């Protein structure tokens, strides 16, 4: 039971301190206990806790946040934004925008989605349908029809040419093949997390997303960037799309938008997508979608204060500097335990340590769970995804604290190794 938190630390009911090596659940970007966010929430609750954004009404913080986001997202080609409550709803909104976009463009048959294996996009039926984590989907099938999964750009688990150390971007070409096989006139959108977080921090080769972006453009397929984890500085740029040099058509955000102080989701679109809805009034330009709490003033106030901190403290830039520190520290663990660490990598403050028992005696996932449990006992919380231990600390973490966190990971691995012997 976690009862309080401050900076990069969380505390349990007995007062034990832990480094939050996972930012709770890939967020807590500005850290815990930030007075200015707390005050912004309290002041907004006092002035106007909530009123609907339906029926012609609006509230000042959500309007201000929309303007702020649009300014922030200009380099990424986004020009309009709609609010929801979390990442799943932001994805749901994006999927529905993509469907209606093609209807208003007179191409109603473009309704399918291309997604990737290991993708995580949320738990609602649409978002779940485009998930690539099979175990999450199975109990709820049949899901949305017309969803096609292609391989992830999983460099060291490459199924296309497993024996070659040189990437040929075969997985990018498979996106094109999937579009052509389905028929470009039936495909509405491709959806991708710039780095696949919950699938195991799958970091693509640098040019992969640019190649897929071009393929989508060539075949008139909308590109949805799911930035729920990668937005707001996580990779060392404001957004993952910017980090990889692409401009999507639609972008989803949540988590780091408020650093978790209050739930909030957002979906942004380019001018071209927005304007399509204005082109044909007879086909119903309205996007009939929204939630009771869309544009919640308290969430918007929290997000504005959160963005102030990210900007003022230059946390995306700090993350860019800390990225190599985390990567090198993790790679140091791999060098010292080459038989037990299959891969160590990080982009910005999103890292992975993939483990494998060289004796092959433990069932899949047991080593990862043991290391995470040892780390917890040593005072660092991380998230094991099978045998991949994932790192996503608050972006305020210092070089020295990164060293401390990774030293605990190494000690936890050493303990797990000896417990097996
Ligand atoms: C990339 C991505 N998209 C969407 C979601 C769903 O967000 P939420 O859990 O806020 O609904 C997540 C959650 O982890 C995510 O990682």
DSSP codes of every residue in 193-225:
-SSB-TTT-BPPPTTHHHHHHHHHHHTT-EEEE
Q: Is the CB of 198 under 6 A from ligand 1?
A: yes
Residue 165 has pLDDT above 80, yes or no: no
Claim to verify: residue 283 and residue 187 sit in the same structural domain: yes
Distance between CA atoms of residues 110 and 100, nearest Å:
9
- Specify the residue with its C-alpha closest to ligand 1, atom 10: 87
Claim to verify: residue 170 and residue 247 sit in the same structural domain: yes
Summarize the confidence of residues 52-56 as an average pLDDT: 89
Q: Is the CB of 91 under 6 A from ligand 1?
A: yes
- Please tell me the predicted confidence (pLDDT) of residue 141: 96
pLDDT by residue (tens digit) across 77-92?
999 999 999 999 999 9
Residue 421 has pLDDT above 90, yes or no: no
Residue 416 has pLDDT above 70, yes or no: yes
Mean pLDDT of the chain: 95
- Please tell me the predicted confidence (pLDDT) of residue 420: 62
312, 339, 357 - which closes a domain:
312
Per-residue pLDDT band at 129 (split at 50, 70, 90): very high
Claim to verify: residue 345 and residue 260 sit in the same structural domain: no
Sheet of 383-385: strands edge to edge?
Answer: 341-347, 350-355, 388-391, 383-385
| Ligand 1 centroid – CA 412 distance (Å) | 28
Q: Which atom, in ligand 1's list, is nearest to the CA of 127? A: 4
> β-strand 388-391 against 383-385: which pairing, if any?
antiparallel
Question: For residue 220, how far is the Cα from the chain centroid?
Answer: 25
Claim to verify: residue 298 and residue 175 sit in the same structural domain: yes
Q: Is the CB of 253 under 6 A from ligand 1?
A: no
In which domain, by residue range, is 241 found?
35-312
Q: Is the CB of 122 under 6 A from ligand 1?
A: yes
- Please tell me the predicted confidence (pLDDT) of residue 285: 62
Q: Which atom, in ligand 1's list, is nearest to the CA of 88? A: 11
Q: Is the CB of 120 under 6 A from ligand 1?
A: yes
Q: Is the CB of 231 under 6 A from ligand 1?
A: no
Distance between CA atoms of residues 185 and 299, nearest Å:
39
Claim to verify: residue 359 and residue 216 sit in the same structural domain: no
Claim to verify: residue 26 and residue 80 sit in the same structural domain: no
Share of the chain above pLDDT 70, in %: 98
Summarize the confidence of residues 295-307 as an average pLDDT: 98
Claim to verify: residue 323 and residue 215 sit in the same structural domain: no
Q: Which residues contact residue 381 at a Cβ distance below 8 angstroms, ignoring those fewer than 6 apart?
A: 10, 18, 19, 20, 21, 22, 375
- Please tell me the predicted confidence (pLDDT) of residue 159: 80
Q: Which of 116, 121, 136, 194 to mutate to test the pocket of ligand 1 (most atoms within 8 A of CB)?
A: 121
Claim to verify: residue 26 and residue 139 sit in the same structural domain: no
Q: Which of 122, 199, 266 to mutate to test the pocket of ligand 1 (most atoms within 8 A of CB)?
A: 122
251, 278, 312 - which closes a domain:
312
Q: Is the CB of 113 under 6 A from ligand 1?
A: no
Claim to verify: residue 108 and residue 175 sit in the same structural domain: yes
Summarize the confidence of residues 108-135 as an average pLDDT: 97
pLDDT by residue (tens digit) across 211-240?
999 999 999 999 999 999 999 999 999 999
Claim to verify: residue 66 and residue 200 sit in the same structural domain: yes
Per-residue pLDDT band at 166 (split at 50, 70, 90): confident
| Ligand 1 centroid – CA 289 distance (Å) | 19
| Ligand 1 centroid – CA 344 distance (Å) | 24
| Ligand 1 centroid – CA 325 distance (Å) | 26
| Ligand 1 centroid – CA 172 distance (Å) | 23
At 416, which CATH number?
Answer: 3.90.1150.10
Claim to verify: residue 158 and residue 72 sit in the same structural domain: yes
Task: Using CA atoms of 209, 334, 238, 225 in order, give the dihedral in degrees to the nearest 10.
Answer: 30
- Please tell me the predicted confidence (pLDDT) of residue 283: 56
At 144, which CATH number?
Answer: 3.40.640.10
Distance between CA atoms of residues 375 and 247, nearest Å:
39
Q: Which of 27, 115, 132, 254 to mutate to test the pocket of ligand 1 (most atoms within 8 A of CB)?
A: 254
Structurally, how many domains does the chain consist of?
2
Find out whether the peptide bond into 142 is cis, omega within 30 degrees of 0. yes
Residue 281 has pLDDT above 90, yes or no: no
312, 341, 375 - which closes a domain:
312
pLDDT by residue (tens digit) across 339-397?
999 999 999 999 999 999 998 889 999 999 999 999 999 999 999 999 999 999 999 99
Claim to verify: residue 292 and residue 398 sit in the same structural domain: no
């Amino acid at each position: 039971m976690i009862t309080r938190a401050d900076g990069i630390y969380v505390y349990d009911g007995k007062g034990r301190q832990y480094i939050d090596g996972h930012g709770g659940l890939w967020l807590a970007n500005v850290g815990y206990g930030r007075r200015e966010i707390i005050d912004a929430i309290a002041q907004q609750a006092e002035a106007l806790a909530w009123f609907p954004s339906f029926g012609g009404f609006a509230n000042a913080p959500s309007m201000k946040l929309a303007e702020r986001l649009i300014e922030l997202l200009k380099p990424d080609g986004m020009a309009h934004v709609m609010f929801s409550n979390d990442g799943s709803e932001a994805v749901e909104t994006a999927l529905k925008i993509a469907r209606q976009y093609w209807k208003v463009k007179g191409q109603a048959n473009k309704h399918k989605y291309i997604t990737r294996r290991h993708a995580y996009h949320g738990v609602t039926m649409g978002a779940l349908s485009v998930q690539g984590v099979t175990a999450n989907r199975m109990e709820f099938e049949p899901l949305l029809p017309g969803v096609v999964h292609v391989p992830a750009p999983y460099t060291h688990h490459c199924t296309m040419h497993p024996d070659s150390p040189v990437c040929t971007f075969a997985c990018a070409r498979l996106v094109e093949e999937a579009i052509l096989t389905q028929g470009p006139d039936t495909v509405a959108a491709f959806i991708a997390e710039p780095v696949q977080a919950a699938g195991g921090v799958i970091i693509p080769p640098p040019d992969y997303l640019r190649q897929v972006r071009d393929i989508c453009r060539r075949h008139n397929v909308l590109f949805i960037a799911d930035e729920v984890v990668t937005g707001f500085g996580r990779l060392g740029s404001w957004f993952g799309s910017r980090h990889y040099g692409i401009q999507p058509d639609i972008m989803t955000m949540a988590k780091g938008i408020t650093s978790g102080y209050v739930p909030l989701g957002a979906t942004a679109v380019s001018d071209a997508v927005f304007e399509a809805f204005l082109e044909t009034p007879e086909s119903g330009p309205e996007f009939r979608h929204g939630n009771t709490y869309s544009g919640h003033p308290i969430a918007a106030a929290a997000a504005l204060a959160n963005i102030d901190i990210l900007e003022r403290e230059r946390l995306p830039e700090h993350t860019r500097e800390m990225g190599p520190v985390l990567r090198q520290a993790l790679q140091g663990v791999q060098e010292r335990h080459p038989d037990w660490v299959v891969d160590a990598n990080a982009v910005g403050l999103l890292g992975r340590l993939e483990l494998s028992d060289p004796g092959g005696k433990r069932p899949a996932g047991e080593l990862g769970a043991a290391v995470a449990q040892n780390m917890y006992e040593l005072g660092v919380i991380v998230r094991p995804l099978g045998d991949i231990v994932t790192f996503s600390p608050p972006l305020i973490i210092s070089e020295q604290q990164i060293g401390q966190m990774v030293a605990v990971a190494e000690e936890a691995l050493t303990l797990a190794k000896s417990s097996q012997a």
